[in-house]
Structure 1
Amino acid sequence: MVENVIHELTAEEAELYDRQIRLWGLENQKKLRNSKILIAGLNGLGAEIAKNIILAGLKSVTFLDSAKVSKLDFASQFFIPTTEEGKNRAEACLLRAQALNPMVELTADTGDLKDKDEEFFKKFNVVVITEASIAEQTRIDNICREHNIKFFAADMWGMFGFSFADLQEHEFAEDIIKHKVISKPHEKVKTEPVTHTTKRSLKFPSLESTLSFDFKSQYFTKRMKKTGPAYIVMKILQKFREDENRDPLPAHRDEDIKKLLAIRDSMSDANLIPDIYFEHVFGQISPSSAILGGSVAQEVIKTVSQKDAPHYNYFFFDPQTACGFIERIDTAY
């Protein structure tokens, strides 16, 4: 992991980030300003994540993507002009992304994620992966665990998406609000809020262990009646990517839905996951990407600043309910 050396903010930076400093404090802004982030996969979701963390004032952000810009990108990738079709996605993002905050160092890497070795990832404080295979996500998470690098994986299929966090041993400060009685005896009770900052820590399981979780267990089946089948839907879409070496495409809609339903039937009880879950998993829908991307970026900011409790450890956005929710997948269950 990169050395955790805290440099002071310049007068120009203090002025630019004045509002944020008032929100989460000078020391937390210094932590942000000294952090190096990798975002791999500059689709619409990756762009939303990048936008929010660039505005927050990180030291540097590296865009890693070997893909070429396609027409599908224009549905949700707001960094890339339509004139850039066919060019590298990471490079095509730089100009508009840099305009958001000239003080953040932005770099484009056109290499392939699978070719990046352990030394490459050691340069970053936080690694965010999108569009990767499960094998690649697991490989990179294991590298991050070895070097205490915070790891996030996220994906968006149409209007369905998820994020996963592996923060290993993570310490943070959380504000606890209590109410103090200020009224005198025999008077109507009056209280005022008093904030106490408490230090806490959490230990996160690896991505690999959560993916081997027994979702057919009686415990999970009961819990799924409350939260829905989002975890299994994610697994089905990941299996499709693994089998087809791509995500579902609008041009292959009918064919791909049949394949998704076949995977569903092989993995779980068809009655648990209605067919409608696979009607809207094509491309990336901008509003849904904004919700998930904003959530991931906020978690990155919370992680770097060590302020407030992080999501433990999955976050799902379910288009059937138009709601996002946290799902705890832990090998202890």
Structure 2
Amino acid sequence: MRALSNEVCKNIILAGVGSITLLEHENVTKEDLGAQFLLRQEDVGRNRAEAAAEKARLLNPRVKVIVDTEDIAQKPDSFFTGFNIVCLTGCNPEQMIRIDNACRQGNTGLYAAGVHGFFGYIFCDLKHHEYREESQGQVTERGKEPETTVTYKSQSYDSLSSTLECFWGFPKPRVLKRKVSPLFFAIQVLWLFQQAHGGRLPQGGNQQDLEAMFKLRDERLKSAQVDNSFVEDELLQTLVETASAEISPVCAIVGGFLAQDILKALSGKDSPLLNYFLYNGIEGTGLVHHVQKTEA
């Protein structure tokens, strides 16, 4: 329950879902107050979910807001299959992959998202999702309402782990940019750093962390058959400098997109995200990419 979660919860609760469960075991710190509008100064030291729930319930009393203060790492796989949608924010890569696999087994939709300074990402896995699209025809007679045509469609999703095993065949950078943003690989490098450093994020101003990110960048792009120049040093350095920062406008943009897509998935109306959304706050771009597992 940090700044991105606040945005998602606000939008989902205002939309009037039946119930929402906030899972968080950590307590509010002074640093949390800078970007979280569901918290106040007097909440410091309290459980984040319990403190946020009090303000969240006021947004829409008809929505049941449930608080769970257990550690997500201690939750069994079966816990996550008891929901229509699971939304993970700020989790480490091992947790995201484990819970995604559990949700796929239980046919539960999953979103995983995070904001790191100027950058944000959303991953969506609904396994196999059916939805409807409505379109209105032209009016043939004056005073007569146009006919609405309903079309039923479906789309299949890849697991998180499989999308990280893509091979791109060393295309030219300008060709590759048509298929995927450099931020897609930069976020993966960040996850690899977390896996190698006990889950922590790189620290701005730490030269060793920056060099470790560069090394992981080179290794990851080589394994994916992508030229090293595709993820520029400047992008990676900015990501390292701001990895732990919560910038409210970025959280609002990513959180707004995420909440809107969750509501699409729940309602079964219109096509949800397939399957990555990558936001670059420096460029002001938000790109959607459909990433599928490919063989070498």
TM-score of Structure 1 vs Structure 2, range by shorter chain: 0.7 to 0.9
TM-score using structure 1 length:
0.77
**2:23 maps to what in 1?**
64
* Residue 291 of structure 2 corresponds to residue 329 of structure 1: yes
Identical positions, percent: 34
Query: Structure 1: how far apart are the matches of 2:167 and 2:34?
Result: 36
| CA offset digits 1:20-69 (Å, max 9, x no partner) | xxxxxxxxxxxxxxxxxxxxxx1111111111101111111111112222
How far off is 1:246 after superposition? 1.6
In structure 1, the residue matched to 2:62 is 103
Post-superposition offset of 1:77:
1.6
- Asked if 1:202 is matched to 2:155, the reply is yes
Contact 1:159 1:289 in 2 (8 A): no
- The one-character-per-residue Cα deviations of 1:149-202 (angstroms, maximum 9, x if unpaired) are 11111111111111111111111111235557889xxxxxxxx97642211111
Alpha-carbon distance change, 62 to 310 in structure 1, aligned in 2, over 3 angstroms: same
1:79-131 deviations in whole A, cap 9, x for unaligned? 11123223321122111111111111112211111111133223211100112
CA distance in 1, matches of 2:174, 2:167: 10
Which amino acid is 1:113 matched to? I
Determine if the alignment matches structure 1 residue 271 to structure 2 residue 244.
no
Q: Which of 176, 194, 197 in structure 2 is aligned with 1:241?
A: 194
Q: Count residues with an aligned counterpart.
A: 283
Q: Which amino acid aligns with 1:228?
A: S
In the aligned structure 2, how far is the partner of 1:128 from the partner of 1:106? 15
Q: Which residue of 2 aligns with 1:92?
A: 51
What TM-score, normalized by structure 2, do the two folds share?
A: 0.86
Secondary structure in structure 2 of the residue aligned to 1:239 = helix
Match of 2:177 in 1: 224
Counterparts of 1:257 and 1:86 in 2: how far apart (Å)? 32
Q: Distance in 1 between matches of 2:106 and 2:286?
A: 31
Amino acid at match of 1:238: W
2: CA distance between counterparts of 1:88 and 1:148? 31
| Match status 1:214 vs 2:214 | no
- CA distance in structure 2 between the aligned counterparts of 1:288 and 1:234, rounded to whole angstroms: 16
Given the alignment of the two structures, is residue 293 of structure 1 paired with residue 247 of structure 2, yes or no?
Answer: no
Once residues 154 and 65 of structure 1 are traced to their aligned partners in structure 2, the CA distance between those partners, rounded to angstroms, is 16
Displacement of 1:330 in angstroms is 1.1
Distance 1:113-1:215 versus aligned 2 partners, 3 A rule: farther
Q: How many Å separate the matches in 1 of 2:147 and 2:260?
A: 25
1:171 corresponds, among 118, 127, 130, to 130
**Cα offset for 1:229?**
0.4
Equivalent residues of 2:173, 2:230 under 8 A apart = no
CA–CA distance in structure 2, aligned partners of residues 55 and 319 of structure 1: 26
Distance (whole Å) between structure 2 residues aligned to residue 128 and residue 176 of structure 1: 30
SS at match of 1:257: helix
2:229 alignment partner AA: N
Equivalent in 118, 124, 132 of residue 83 of structure 2: 124
Q: 1:119 to 1:272 in 2, by over 3 A?
A: closer
Larger radius of gyration: 1
Q: For residue 121 of structure 1, what is the amino acid of its counterpart?
A: F
**Unaligned ranges ≥5, structure 2:** 222-226
Counterpart amino acid of residue 166 in structure 2: F
Which position in structure 1 is the counterpart of 2:269?
307
Cα distance, 1:211–1:108 mapped onto 2, change above 3 Å: same
